[in-house]
Amino acid sequence: MTKSLFIIFFVLGAIIPAFNAHIGDFDEVWRRRAEEAIKFTHETYESEPANITLAFNQKTRHTVKELSTVVSKNETIRRALGTKKYDGPCTVTNPIDKCWRCDPNWADNRKKLVECSMGFGYKTTGGRDGEFYVVTDPSDDYTTPKPGTLRHAVIQKEPLWIIFEKNMKIKLHQELIMQGDKTIDGRGATVHITGGASIMIQYTKNVIIHGLHIHDIVEGSGGMVRDAVDHIGLRTKSDGDGISIYGSSNIWIDHMSMENCYDGLIDAVEGSTGITISNGHYTDHNEVMLFGASDSSSIDQKMQITLAFNHFGKRLVQRMPRCRWGYIHVVNNDYTHWNMYAIGGSKNPTIISQGNRFIAPPDIFKKEITKREYSPESVWMQWTWRSEGDLYMNGAYFVQAGDPDWSKKHQNLYDGIAPAPADQVTWITRTNVALVVLLVTCLTVGAAVAADNSTRRHLAKKYKGPCMATNLIDKCWRCDPQWADNREKYADCAMGFGSKATGGKGGRVYVVSDNSDSDVENPAPGTLRHAVIQTEPLWIIFERHMHIKLQRELLMQGHKTIDGRGFNIHIEKGAGLKMQGVSNVIISNLHVHNIVITPGGMIRDSAEHVGIRSEDEGDGISLFSATDIWIDHVSMSRATDGLIDAVKGSTGITISNCHFTDHDKVMLFGANDNHVEDKKMQITLAYNHFGKRLDQRMPRVRFGFFHIVNNDYTHWMRYAIGGNNGATIISQGNRFIAQASPLIKEVTHREKVEESEWKNWTWLSIDDDMQNGAFFKTSGDQDALSKLQDLNLIPAEPSYKVGIITKFAGSLACTAGRPC
């Protein structure tokens, strides 16, 4: 055995045990596929990736020169395709499209598309060497696929070129697991993959996906899924990516319209390489692309991906892409929208950005294109992140790193012309790259047009409005572009048991300008602590993005609103928020995470009083004898004790639109069996998403009345809803997705009590959606809801809408002057 083969099999031994994503039974078939996939990864890897970058640039430059006469006729090039200003014989604008789109007989020469692949995916031939397979049926049976369906096509072992008989909307009931040597060619029909599970390319090679619309993708529940004509296997719940590339090589994704998927739009992980993603149009999503999912997956050092001619469009937030390891060539893309950052990464990826246009958002704190994660500057400054010939607009800037002479060592990439220093690139190279960068608009105009020349916003269509508000609370304020000038209108939007909370409405606006918390006895003006201890009503907002580390628990006075809208406000790595013996508080749009126990001592709790406090418990938000409280759009994770606890007679509370992850005991409502005052407790949980890596207590209750309505429970490891002491729980229109283990399917958990007692408690499940074997043990008076008409209950939407209703749970990225 050669040394290189020895290294490959050594890597196999280390990687394959952790290489089991969504495979419930890692049998011999999957083990063999994983072994072959690792070999393909090493075979596909280019030892000199700059050569591929060079070849791509030369071909693009040649096409650009041919198109230069068109550019000179119309300097603005504002979406020239589709306008009367474009007078060329064919609307091709980049070398990939030039290769095939001007052929009037393209439908008779479909396989010519294979000759058009460029970048790291240039070796991809898809189903070129096979027969045509015509999809005639949009239905989906994931255990015994019917002939004529897309699933039946992709599980065949021979090469196939898959086309469609007519326009189709296909809802995949489980992830679509593809065999290799396939082309899915949507040209000539409008094909939507929507409302169901995703496309999974796992441990395979040589796949082309072209000309589809993929949107509104949700998690697949898992179960027995056929992945080949001769194999069916157990799958765990899928992530809800639009397209997931896992341990696969030689992949080309072209002319895709993608939006609004549960997790990423396109993820490529665990040794995937030899990939080109081109001519795509992406909108309406948070985490767009993830290349490399784990810091421990060193196999992703082999990852090589080209992103070319894509348009990153409206209402995108971040990850375009977010990279670990690998070599990523980002070339001639149009970045017109981001709300956090455009390109990010960790674990030393090489990112070469060339000839892109970056238009920064209006917010002065969101101008940076790049973001490094989990590494100090002394480390990431060694990574190679280079920007050459990019056009920065509206204050955008790219923080470069790595060898400043990188381009001199690869001069053939630039026809021998060395790039300008990074701090002068915008000005010195503006004229030189104007042709290329002006063409970026033109180059990306055709993105997804070949699939459908009238790209539509599906969410806007469903909700009949230009705004992404998806539930009753959000519809009250989020569609107002002047929300920042009408902040107090937000207080009119409270619903449920916390509907009386008006917070600081009627009081003055207090602007937090200082993120320090160094003096807990005499807080400095401008700090959050100084704001919350004032005895008058206040509407508290923030001057800029902030990370606030509270040295001791933040003791709030009543009649306060903490309104984080417009900025990213993190309460982290210190104490949490405490409302004790107060009323009328609104907390909105914060990130609260990594909360720890802090020691007691003298702490000011009002402008007139400072007192001694014992050690706190490490809750994110603690309500103690507090009333009329509304907590909305808060993202929470990792606290020493609970994320939100409400005890000792706290009541009149609504917790809505929040996103909870990475925690054990999420919520405790009623801390002690002896606290009979908690019989008055009334709490509404609405529109929340209980997400990844949660364990239990969502919530855990004692006494009281709890309305749990239209929440999305996608993860729990023990139980979701628990309690004792005769609590009343009305669960309506929620979605409960159980985990794979047969031992944790039950939603409910009664504690410290015999069945003879708890069967008399009123625990109702009304129109809940139970998925993947989840079940709710009801008890008590099943007609109780009809007897509760006088209570302030939020009306429940059908449970099948929960994925959309809770889509924007958590802290929002709002910009003044636009709907949030």
Distance CA 787, CA 781 (A): 10
pLDDT band at 417 (very low <50, low <70, confident <90, very high): very low
Compute the average pLDDT of residues 435-449: 37
Does position 602 have pLDDT exceeding 60, yes or no? yes
Compute the average pLDDT of residues 736-747: 90
Higher pLDDT, 789 or 639: 639
Q: Which fold has domain 49-459?
A: Pectate Lyase C-like (2.160.20)
pLDDT band at 432 (very low <50, low <70, confident <90, very high): very low
Give me the half-sphere count of Cα atoms (radius 13 Å) on the Cβ side of residue 337: 17
In this structure, of 38-52, 350-364, 742-756, 799-813, the range with the lowest mean pLDDT score is 38-52
Distance CA 208, CA 185 (A): 8
Going by the DSSP 8-state scheme, the letter that residue 75 receives in this structure is S
448 neighbors 280 (Cβ within 8 angstroms):
yes
Query: Strand, helix or coil at 781?
Result: coil
Compute the average pLDDT of residues 753-760: 89
Residue 493 has a pLDDT of: 95
Which residues partner with 655 through β-bridges?
A: 631, 685
Does position 644 have pLDDT exceeding 60, yes or no? yes
Q: Which long-range contacts (CB under 8 A, 24 or more apart) does 108-117 make?
A: 110/161, 110/163, 110/185, 110/187, 111/161, 113/183, 113/185, 113/208, 113/210, 114/183, 114/208, 117/208, 117/252, 117/276
pLDDT in tens, 518-537: 999 999 999 999 999 999 99
Compute the average pLDDT of residues 421-442: 30
Which residues partner with 219 through β-bridges?
A: none
Q: Which long-range contacts (CB under 8 A, 24 or more apart) does 12-16 make?
A: 12/38, 15/270, 15/271, 15/297, 15/299
Degrees, nearest 5: CA angle 319-40-1: 135
Which residues partner with 346 through β-bridges?
A: 324
Does position 434 have pLDDT exceeding 80, yes or no? no
Compute the average pLDDT of residues 804-819: 89
pLDDT in tens, 780-802: 987 777 666 556 688 899 988 89
Residue 90 has a pLDDT of: 59
Compute the average pLDDT of residues 425-435: 26
pLDDT in tens, 84-124: 333 445 556 678 888 898 888 899 999 999 999 988 999 99
Compute the average pLDDT of residues 695-719: 94
550 closest CA partner among 497, 484, 618: 618
Bridging pattern class, strands 694-696 and 663-665: parallel
Whether omega before 537 lies within 30 degrees of 0, making that bond cis, reads no
Average pLDDT, the chain: 84
Residue 740 has a pLDDT of: 84
Residue 127 has a pLDDT of: 95
Q: Which helix (H) or strand (E) holds 441?
A: helix 434-445
Instruction: Name the residue type at position 336.
Output: T
Residue 103 has a pLDDT of: 87
Residue 363 has a pLDDT of: 87
Residue 289 has a pLDDT of: 96
Does position 612 have pLDDT exceeding 70, yes or no? yes
pLDDT in tens, 238-294: 989 999 999 999 999 999 999 999 999 999 998 899 999 998 999 999 999 999 988
Higher pLDDT, 592 or 820: 592
Strands (E), 635-720: 635-639, 644-647, 651-656, 659-661, 663-665, 667-669, 682-686, 689-690, 694-696, 700-702, 705-709, 712-713
Distance CA 776, CA 768 (A): 9
In this structure, of 143-157, 455-469, 506-520, 773-787, the range with the lowest mean pLDDT score is 455-469
Distance CA 749, CA 724 (A): 9
Does position 171 have pLDDT exceeding 70, yes or no? yes
- The tokens for 198 are 């995703």
Residue 264 has a pLDDT of: 93
Residue 489 makes CB contacts below 8 A (sequence gap 6+) with 476, 477, 480, 483
Outline which parts of the chain fall under CATH 2.160.20.10: 49-459, 469-805
Does position 30 have pLDDT exceeding 90, yes or no? no
708 neighbors 731 (Cβ within 8 angstroms):
yes
Share of the chain above pLDDT 90, in %: 62
Which residues partner with 586 through β-bridges?
A: 561, 630
Does position 817 have pLDDT exceeding 70, yes or no? yes
Query: Strand, helix or coil at 266?
Result: strand
747 neighbors 776 (Cβ within 8 angstroms):
yes
Distance CA 483, CA 472 (A): 16
Residue 78 has a pLDDT of: 32
Strands (E), 309-384: 311-312, 316-318, 322-324, 327-331, 334-335, 343-346, 350-354, 357-359, 370-372
The arrangement of secondary structure in 469-805, i.e. its CATH architecture, is: 3 Solenoid (2.160)
User: Is the torsion defined by CA of 373, 375, 376, 381 positive or negative?
Assistant: negative
Higher pLDDT, 345 or 416: 345
Residue 345 has a pLDDT of: 94
Q: What is the DSSP string of 720-736?
A: SEEEETT-EEEEES-EE
- Positions annotated as catalytic residues are 319
